[in-house]
Amino acid sequence: MDRAKELARLRKMLLYEKQGRNLGYRSIAGLDEAGRGPLAGPVVAAVCILPLGFLMPGINDSKLLKPSVRNELFHQLRSHPGVVFEVGQAEAEEIDRINIYQATLLSMKRALDALKVRPDYLLVDGMPLDYDGIPAQKIIKGDQLSLSIAAASIIAKETRDALMDGYHEKWPCYGFDRHRGYATEKHYEALRMHGPCPIHRRSFEPVRSYS
């Protein structure tokens, strides 16, 4: 890794955080989610506040990272004394009841409810968010443009993957440890053979057809 280029990339990803500070905000939180698209499991959101001057090499949109790299960054973020984060989730039953969009917002609000530090400005990946009067900025592809959102995307993805690994132990026939609930041929085959389990989203096709 060219360290100079990497630091330049990370500084570029602090643009939105710097804009927020120029507006007078000091506690700026990034929010992202994992699991809007799968056929099974919860949607998980993470909120992350990074300390001033934070530049951790490798942080990027979780979808662009190799699993081993993403996992290592997750543990580095968790162990960093200046990083403040929390996660929230909405279960499959809630997704079916209020729809995936509203469930995603709910998971973000739950993450914020759990946060021990109240942010005064929110950077949100791709969604408008109304929470407790705190100003929020929706950023399209924010997990590639904001370091706080990218860090949140790593935390959300790793947290959800661990949950799906746990569900695999309970329902091994579906292969949740491999596809994490997403639509794959193996997942379709398991649905055809076994029908849905309690964490499948019955409002999603083809789960609905097998319910």
Domain boundaries, the chain: 3-170
Q: Virtual CA dihedral for 196, 198, 201, 202, nearest 10 degrees? A: 60
Other C-beta atoms lying within 10 Å of the C-beta of residue 205: 11
* CATH code of the domain occupying 3-170: 3.30.420.10
pLDDT reported for residue 210: 86
3-state secondary structure 51-68: CCCCCCCCCCCHHHCCHH
Predicted confidence at residue 211, as pLDDT, reads: 76
Task: Convert the pLDDT of each residue in 80-101 to its tens digit.
Answer: 999 999 999 999 999 999 999 9
Helix 15-22 vs helix 147-170: crossing angle, to nearest 10: 120
The whole-number pLDDT of residue 181 equals 97
Dihedral, 125, 99, 199, 75 alpha carbons, nearest 10: 10
pLDDT at 23: 96
State residue 3's pLDDT score. Answer: 87
Tokens 């090499």, residue located: 57
* Nearest Cα to Cα of residue 136 among 43, 20, 44: 20
Low-confidence ranges of the chain (pLDDT < 70): 1
